[in-house]
Amino acid sequence: MTARILSGKPIADAIKAEVAGEVEQLERTHGFRPCLTVVRVGEDAASAVYVGKKVKTSEELGIISELRHLPVDILHGDLLAIIKELNGRPDVDGILVQLPLPDQIRTSEILETIDPEKDVDGFHPVNAGRLAQGEKSLVPCTPAGVIEMLKRSDIEIAGQHAVIVGRSNIVGKPMAMLLLRENATVTICHSRTKNLAGITRQADILVAAIGRPGFISGEHIREGAVVIDVGINNVSDTDVVRGLFKGEELGKRLTAIEKRGFTLVGDVNPKEAMEKAGSFTPVPGGVGLLTVAMLMRNTVDAAVKRRKL
Ligand code: NDP
């Protein structure tokens, strides 16, 4: 069997087009465009790339974007004050604090200070609680993107056994809640799970959100399952890459390592997933592309809700 590739690009493009249409309509009928403020602290290279993508996509869709780039040694109290100022600004619809934050900052206190109505990352305990209770809320972008990927690829969720490997507050747990809301039967696995492969092989839908390159191998996958790879890992070891890719793709990956020093790899072994899965999301080019699209979706939703339109 060769798996059907679930590509993120057409789905991300469709979501972005819908959001751009809504932004235009809000401007036409209500005279404003939603505003997203992204807070970046310090000079972390990966954060710079992620923030850049968020700002650029906002601008493409007509969302007003504001970047607050703060020094790495900013005091906790000063960052807190900035969040409070943004909470109080009527023109700001979404506040996103790019993680990770430097050591002197108490991250959970910062995230909990963001007004839940402006919490476009969906990390605030109020939004996590609402999601757990099955109420409407702002939902973390990556798992929300996975649901869009499944629905828009006409993959049945209701009644299916979904197994998630990973239980983080950012991906694993909200993923479980969203799949439950879609009436899947959900199992969550983590680093203390016994007989992991025995459980993942029962999955109709297997979601990997682990942070270990190529960890999910053929032995973890039931023949024909839908395999969603959320992982994003930088790999520079050519031996690891040789175990994960073959043919032309392997060539591309080795060239990338030679040129850039690394290649992006998911948490699933793509070579083995392609042989066993029914459908599979590639890395890059899979669900990763949906995260920013869903952030745009959340920004417009937050604007509509808080402005009571
Ligand atoms: P975390 O490190 O917060 O969580 C990883 C989870 O995997 C934990 O629950 C951990 O279990 C579990 N785990 C680790 N090792 C094993 C193992 N050997 N067997 C079973 N479970 C294991 O990571 P995140 O959730 O933040 O991210 C997961 C992946 O998704 C990463 O590759 C990250 O880069 C990627 N990601 C991608 C995004 C996107 O935009 N596409 C956005 C966010 C993340 P335990 O809880 O027991 O420690």
pLDDT, tens digit, 9 for 90 and up, residues 268-283: 999 999 999 999 999 9
Catalytic residue among 16, 93, 98, 160: 98
Ligand 1 pocket, Cβ-based, cut-off 6 angstroms: 142, 165-168, 170-172, 189-193, 196, 209-212, 230-233, 267, 287-288, 291
Convert the pLDDT of each residue in 166-215 to its tens digit: 999 999 999 999 999 999 999 999 999 999 999 999 999 999 999 999 99
Cite the residue boundaries of each domain of the chain with CATH code 3.40.50.10860: 33-116
Q: Which residues contact 202 (CB under 8 A, 6 or more apart)?
A: 161, 163, 187, 222
Q: What is the mean pLDDT of the chain?
A: 97
Contact call for residues 172 and 29 (beta carbons, < 8 A): no
Beta pairing class for 64-70 and 35-41: parallel
Domain 33-116 CATH (choose: 3.40.140.10, 3.30.70.20, 3.40.50.10860, 2.40.50.140): 3.40.50.10860
Which part of the chain has CATH 3.40.50.720? 141-231+266-290
The model's confidence at residue 38, banded by pLDDT at 50, 70 and 90, is: very high
Share of the chain above pLDDT 70, in %: 100
Task: Read off the pLDDT band of 23 (50, 70, 90).
Answer: very high
Contacts of residue 180, defined as CB under 8 A and 6 or more positions apart, other chains included, come to 186
Res 148: pLDDT: 98
Pocket test for ligand 1, best of 9, 191, 217 (most atoms within 8 A of CB): 191
Contact 283/264 with Cβ under 8 angstroms?
Answer: yes
CATH annotation of 141-231+266-290: 3.40.50.720
- Tell which residue, 217, 37, 242, 200, has the closest CA to residue 120: 37
pLDDT band (50, 70, 90) for residue 164? very high
Shortest-distance Cα residue to atom 16 of ligand 1: 191
Q: Active site includes 98?
A: yes
Contact (CB, 8 A) for 205 and 184: yes
